[in-house]
């Protein structure tokens, strides 16, 4: 078990690279194949990772890893140039 001082960087200005984008956009999980809104991803505090809305039935985790933007699947949510 960790204490809050060991995890203080998470509470500060930590930018999680696998966090879903702010706002809501259509995303697709490569594991279960479902398309849904990014706001439906959730944080699993036991494993400390952003996961598919179908977790634990689906093992999809991490925006830009297993779960991608429908409009631009190769991006992490940036606007295409």
| pLDDT tens readout for residues 8-28 | 344 445 678 899 988 899 999
| Domain that residue 14 falls in | 8-69
User: Does 57 fall in a domain?
Assistant: yes
DSSP symbol at 14: -
What is the b/e burial string over 4-31, where b = at least 16 CB atoms within 10 angstroms of the residue's CB?
eeeeeeeeeeeeeebbbbeeeeebbbee
User: Does 63 fall in a domain?
Assistant: yes
| pTM, full prediction | 0.73
Residue 29 has a pLDDT of: 97
User: pLDDT by residue (tens digit) across 35-81?
Assistant: 999 999 999 999 999 999 999 999 999 999 999 999 887 766 554 44
User: Does 74 fall in a domain?
Assistant: no
List, in order, residues 6 or more apart from 79 with CB less than 8 Å away.
Answer: none
User: Does 78 fall in a domain?
Assistant: no
User: Does 30 fall in a domain?
Assistant: yes
Strand partners, 69: 27
- Split into its structural domains, the chain has a count of 1
Cα separation, 77 vs 64, in Å, equals 8
Residue 73 has a pLDDT of: 73
User: Does 76 fall in a domain?
Assistant: no
User: Does 75 fall in a domain?
Assistant: no
């Amino acid at each position: 078990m960790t204490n809050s001082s060991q995890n203080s960087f998470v509470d500060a200005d930590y930018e999680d690279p696998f966090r879903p984008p702010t706002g809501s956009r259509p995303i697709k999980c490569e594991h279960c194949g479902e398309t849904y809104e990014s706001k439906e991803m959730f944080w699993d505090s036991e494993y400390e990772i952003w996961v598919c809305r179908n977790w634990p039935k689906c093992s999809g985790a991490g925006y830009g890893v297993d779960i991608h933007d429908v409009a631009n699947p190769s991006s992490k949510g940036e606007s295409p140039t």
